[in-house]
């Protein structure tokens, strides 16, 4: 696996695919700089070697048309502040204007290209567009895990035109290494905590990881499909009736593979999907009609704690309750605390997937786990066992 450490960038121009698809407020100010900060080490390595960096990214979904609302010029000032270097900007990502801006770039300088998705050729993976991009650097670096599952011109096709002069950036290398730790090389026992609303969205992940884990915690809305499938009463809780046979099959497969499955035994139930609803703690298989389970109960959290603290490798994908409402966040916070304790004790913990990452940030756990993945869809496809096009392109 080629990384930045395999290259010296002195007098070289590095074309770096970054993921600067950052949130902006109504005045076009960046409201979360995490993705820019994540790319900083790779950019600094190039500059410190005596090279220059040409950054390419998308922002939003402009659908192949120039839309000033999605111009990367809005973020140029913030990128300069985060990196600590005055970043130049050019108002296209291919063609004469971009090529001239790159030609003028001196060692130690950084150039940000305009939004790749102003060209529809980017998302369809057009080879001619990829060739134009390839003219803008001597070495290609992919450091955008968030788009590694897309076979776009800038993430996949462009790599073909760099021969051996291509590598992973620090961020993407770390993502690959973290997923490998969970899926292949992690110290046992290995635990996967899968939450979220629906079994259907996690089927392929569950089926793929059953060969890799020793323990599987099922939480969140998925719980009730498993419970009802086994004859339990789930009241008005979210439940995919058509997935009940699948839930039973997953339990059967887990048993055959020697994987211990841990399902909540009690829940905090509410008489309405509201933070102000009346609540009661009930057995997970005895939820009354008119009530719905919205968080893990106290006995469940004790069970989860025991499993988490004895695990040496932990994957967390999905909250175990409706953490967006304060009164139903206790379970997700509890799981975060247990993972923190386990990590301090030497376990490796990886958090990935939109809602779990949001929860980790909301409750301040991002520095208490080993790694928080930056790519939602890419992370999930990796866990499903798929080879991501953006990664294959560098390895190929």
What residues act catalytically?
35, 198, 354, 377
Question: CB–CB of 42/141 below 8 Å?
Answer: yes
Between vectors from CA 333 to CA 328 and to CA 334, what angle results, nearest 5°?
A: 105
> Binding residue per annotation — 324?
yes
Spatial separation of the C-alpha atoms in residues 155 and 55, rounded to whole Å: 12
> Binding residue per annotation — 355?
yes
> Binding residue per annotation — 299?
no
Q: Where are the alpha helices (DSSP H) in the chain?
A: 34-49, 76-83, 95-103, 120-123, 127-134, 170-180, 203-209, 222-229, 244-257, 298-310, 330-344, 354-362, 376-383, 389-395
> What residues form DSSP beta bridges with 113?
90
Spatial separation of the C-alpha atoms in residues 313 and 100, rounded to whole Å: 49
> Binding residue per annotation — 19?
yes
> Binding residue per annotation — 150?
yes
Spatial separation of the C-alpha atoms in residues 258 and 270, rounded to whole Å: 35
Q: In terms of C-beta distances under 8 Å and separation of at least 24 residues, what long-range contacts does 321-324 make, across chains too?
A: 321/219, 321/220, 321/268, 321/294, 321/295, 321/296, 322/273, 322/294, 322/295, 323/355, 323/359, 323/362, 323/363
- Report in angstroms the alpha-carbon separations of 297 from 36, 157, 178, 346, 359: 38, 49, 31, 27, 18
Q: How does DSSP assign 226-293, residue by residue?
A: HHHHTT-EETT----GGGHHHHHHHHHHHHHHTPEEE--SEEEEESSSSTTS-EEEEETTEEPTT-EE
Q: Which two tokens stand for residue 124?
A: 């369809």
Spatial separation of the C-alpha atoms in residues 62 and 21, rounded to whole Å: 12
> Binding residue per annotation — 146?
no
> Binding residue per annotation — 207?
no
CB neighbour list of residue 89: distance below 8 Å, 6 or more residues apart: 72, 73, 76, 111, 112, 114
> Binding residue per annotation — 293?
yes
> Binding residue per annotation — 350?
no
For residue 79, which phi and psi values (nearest 5 degrees)?
-60, -40
> Which residue, 313, 374, 324, 383, is CA-closest to 348?
313
Q: Which two tokens stand for residue 248?
A: 């039973």
Between vectors from CA 353 to CA 352 and to CA 359, what angle results, nearest 5°?
A: 85
> Binding residue per annotation — 356?
yes
> Binding residue per annotation — 66?
no
> Binding residue per annotation — 353?
yes
> Binding residue per annotation — 20?
yes
Binding residues for ATP: 202, 293, 324, 353-356
Binding residues for substrate: 19-21, 35, 58-61, 117, 150
Binding residues: 19-21, 35, 58-61, 117, 150, 202, 293, 324, 353-356
Binding residues for (2R)-3-phosphoglycerate: 35, 117, 150
């Amino acid at each position: 696996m080629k990384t930045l450490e395999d290259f010296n960038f002195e007098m070289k121009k590095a074309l770096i695919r970054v993921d600067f698809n950052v949130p902006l407020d109504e005045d076009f100010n960046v409201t979360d700089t995490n993705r820019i900060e994540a790319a900083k080490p790779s950019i600094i390595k190039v500059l410190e070697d005596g090279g220059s960096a040409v950054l390419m990214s998308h922002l939003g979904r402009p659908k192949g048309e120039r839309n000033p609302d999605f111009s990367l010029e809005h973020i140029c000032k913030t990128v300069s502040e985060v990196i600590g270097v005055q970043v130049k900007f050019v108002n296209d990502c291919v063609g004469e204007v971009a090529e001239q801006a790159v030609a003028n770039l001196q060692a130690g300088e950084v150039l940000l290209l305009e939004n790749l998705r102003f060209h529809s050729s980017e998302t369809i993976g057009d080879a001619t567009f990829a060739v134009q991009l390839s003219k803008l650097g001597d070495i290609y670096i992919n450091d955008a895990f968030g788009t590694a599952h897309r076979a776009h011109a800038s993430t996949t096709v462009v790599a073909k035109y760099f021969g051996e002069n291509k590598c992973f950036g620090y961020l993407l290398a770390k993502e690959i290494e973290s997923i490998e730790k969970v899926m292949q090389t992690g110290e046992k026992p290995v635990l996967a905590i899968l939450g979220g609303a629906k079994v259907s969205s996690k089927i392929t992940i569950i089926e793929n990881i059953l060969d890799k884990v020793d323990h599987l915690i099922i939480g969140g809305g998925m719980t009730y499909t498993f419970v009802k499938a086994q004859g339990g009463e789930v009241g008005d809780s979210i439940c995919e009736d058509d997935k009940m046979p699948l839930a039973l099959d997953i339990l059967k497969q887990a048993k055959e593979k020697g994987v211990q499955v841990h399902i909540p035994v009690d829940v905090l139930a509410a008489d309405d999907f509201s933070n102000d609803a009346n609540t009661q703690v009930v057995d997970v298989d005895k939820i009354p009609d008119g009530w719905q389970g919205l968080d893990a109960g106290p006995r469940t959290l004790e069970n989860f704690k025991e499993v988490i603290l004895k695990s040496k490798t932990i994957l967390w994908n999905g909250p175990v309750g409706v953490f967006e409402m304060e009164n139903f966040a206790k379970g997700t916070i509890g799981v975060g605390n247990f993972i923190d304790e386990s990590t301090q004790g030497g376990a490796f913990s990886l958090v990935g997937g939109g809602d779990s990452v949001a929860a980790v940030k909301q409750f301040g756990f991002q520095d208490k786990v080993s790694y928080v993945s930056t790519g939602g869809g890419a992370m999930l496809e990796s866990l499903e066992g798929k080879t991501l096009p953006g990664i294959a392109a560098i390895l190929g």
